[in-house]
Amino acid sequence: MPEGDTVYRAARLLDRSLSGKVLTRTDFRVPQHATADLSGATVRETVSRGKHLLTRIDGEEEWTLHTHLKMEGTWRVLERGRRWPRPAAQARVVLETDTRVAVGFSLGIVELVPRGREDELVGHLGPDLLGPGWDEAEALRRLREDPTRPLGEALLDQTRLAGIGNMYMAELCFVAGVHPRTPVGDVTGLPRLVRRAKQMLELNKERAVQSTTGDLRERQRMWVYRRDKSPCRRCGTPIRVAMAGPAGRERASYWCPSCQPERTAPEG
Ligand SMILES: [Zn+2]
């Protein structure tokens, strides 16, 4: 599951490669847009909003191509005629210019909508950790709206704040010393945690490998994420993993039982 910084990098790649360029060929390999053809149109820009990508394309009408990487998706930009890094059957969108081809593989969402409807695509999102209009107070307000909700679940809810996936959720709970199941209302230092979230994404948006520990060496980059059974970097206790979250949308949750003790709710 790509995190907000990964999506930000994908937006920048597309923006650098395509903005200002005329499309010489387009191919939308999804049923609802199979006949769409934007060749001759000019790509204006690509921006990220949380984990959503918006590619604005001006033809006879102003379009927005909305894509989402979901679990396995990726955008790649290649010199024209180069071999694609993934099987052609996985391609969902192909945007070609006179020199380059951008291919979106295994995308979770591919939608072409009139520009005026962009808000319907991303208007539900909370403040974007990497967006130009980042608003910490509003993110905190939204997180606190349901004080009984488990912190891990609230952090993953893109309508609270946008950009955090499973990896940052686990890492943030660890650095805050809070069990992911702790109700939001019981978390002291929530503002610091949110600031930390922004810091982590900001640091990692500029580099190809993600690290939350500050150490870029293989296997040293994470505190707890995907480290179940390995010793905690602070106290040596084996890291635990469990599935958590709303039914049908459970995700793996990682924590150190000693650094992030689960407080049992008082009786009654
Ligand atoms: Zn520990």
Tens of pLDDT, residues 152-170: 999 999 999 999 999 999 9
Q: Give me the residue label for tokens 């072409």.
A: 112
Helix (H, G, I), strand (E, B) or coil at 195: helix
Give, in degrees to the nearest 5, the angle at Cα 103 between 100 and 108: 160
pLDDT for position 268: 44
The Å distance, Cα 173 to ligand 1 centre, comes to 12
* Options 51, 56, 198, 240, the catalytic residue: 51
183 Cα–ligand 1 center, Å: 20
Cα of 110 to ligand 1 centre, how many Å?
41
**β-strand pairing of 25-28 with 91-96:** antiparallel
How far is ligand 1, taken at its centre, from the CA of residue 257, in Å? 7
Backbone angles phi and psi of 76, in degrees to 5: -125, 145
Position 249 scores a pLDDT of 81
DSSP H helices, 98-189, are 118-122, 136-144, 151-156, 166-176
51 among known catalytic residues: yes
Q: Which are the contacts of 176, defined by CB distance < 8 A and separation ≥ 6?
A: 187, 189, 192, 193, 196
Q: How far apart are CA 65 and CA 114, in angstroms?
A: 9
CB 128 within 8 A of CB 162: yes
Q: According to the model, what pLDDT value does residue 264 have?
A: 66
Give the angle 7-209-251 at the CA atoms, nearest 5°.
60
62 is catalytic: no
Cα 230 to averaged position of ligand 1 atoms, centre (Å)? 11
H-run or E-run covering 248: none
Q: Compute the half-sphere exposure of residue 219: CA atoms within 13 Å on the CB side of its CA.
A: 3
Residue type, position 205, single letter? K
Q: Does 21 participate in catalysis according to the annotation?
A: no
pLDDT for the residue 265: 58
User: Which residue out of 3, 118, 153, 171 is catalytically annotated?
Assistant: 3
Low-confidence ranges of the chain (pLDDT < 70): 264-268
Distance 199 CA to ligand 1 centre (A): 22
Torsional sign, CA 249, 155, 149, 177: positive
Indicate which residue of 2, 127, 150, 180 is catalytic.
2
- d(Cα 122, Cα 230) in Å, to the nearest integer? 38
Tokens of 77: 């930009």
Structure tokens at 184: 């939001």
* Separation of alpha carbons 69 and 121, rounded Å: 15
Place of tokens 């979106």: 104
Kindly report the number of other CB atoms within 10 A of residue 263's CB atom: 11
- Residues 138, 143, 144, 146, CA torsion sign: positive
Angle CA 110–112–115, to nearest 5: 135
Q: Per DSSP, what are the bridge partners of residue 200?
A: none
Residues in a beta bridge with 35: none
Is 3 a known active-site residue?
A: yes
